[in-house]
Amino acid sequence: MKVLLDMIELRAAMVQNPSLELPEALCYSSANTNGLKTIRELATFRFTCRRCEDAPCIAVCPAYALEKDTDGVIMRHTNLCVSCKSCVTICPFGTMMTDFFRHHRNKDLFYDLCDPEEARKFVAACPPGTARLTDEKEKPDEHIYQLNERVLIRDYIYVTEKE
């Protein structure tokens, strides 16, 4: 059983209610060795980011907290990030949601999606229609992509010419 997180519906819910407090999810079996990162952050940099060649977000970061991995995907060193949000402001595509950068998160809002029980609780805590448990596989024609072995993401992805 996987969790499908619908980033399209999540963004719509946040536009409707900007003060919405979203539950956050982690999945420690995913490739994630540079500090604690949420599923939404991993999904955004992997699927939504336009992978700008000159990456103004990296250039503007005063803490040298952003870099590209070997696949050209932006990653944030959370231990270096000072939450200034300069990268959010300069990104021409509005890729990032500002709440990625909160320093003090409520620990109770984190769910480990590698634990089936926590995955169920996460889905129940998400706004209606934004997450579900599923046995589905990737379905690009429905904008559903695999983030890792436990998580599917629904989003409009940006495909570079190289891909």
Cβ within 8 Å of residue 95, ≥6 positions away: 44, 45, 48, 49, 50, 57
Residue choice 14, 84, 109, 133 for contact with ligand SF4 (CB under 6 A)? 84
- For residue 97, the one-letter residue type is M
Q: Interface with ligand SF4 by CB under 6 A: which range of 9-17, 46-54, 117-125, 142-150?
A: 46-54
- For residue 90, the one-letter residue type is I
- For residues 111 and 3, give the distance between their C-alpha atoms in angstroms, rounded to a whole number: 12
Residue choice 9, 30, 56, 136 for contact with ligand SF4 (CB under 6 A)? 56
- For residues 37 and 28, give the distance between their C-alpha atoms in angstroms, rounded to a whole number: 9
Q: Does 73 bind ligand SF4 (CB under 6 A)?
A: no
Work out whether the CA dihedral 94, 97, 98, 102 comes out positive or negative.
Answer: negative
Alpha-helical (H) ranges within 17-103 are 39-43, 56-60, 86-90
Residue window 104-143: x/- pattern of binding to ligand SF4, with contact defined by CB under 6 A: ----------------------------------------
Q: Does 55 bind ligand SF4 (CB under 6 A)?
A: yes
Q: Does 34 bind ligand SF4 (CB under 6 A)?
A: no
Residue choice 87, 119, 152, 153 for contact with ligand SF4 (CB under 6 A)? 87
Rule CB under 6 A: which residues touch ligand SF4?
49-52, 55-57, 60-61, 63, 65-66, 74, 76, 81-87, 91, 93, 95, 101
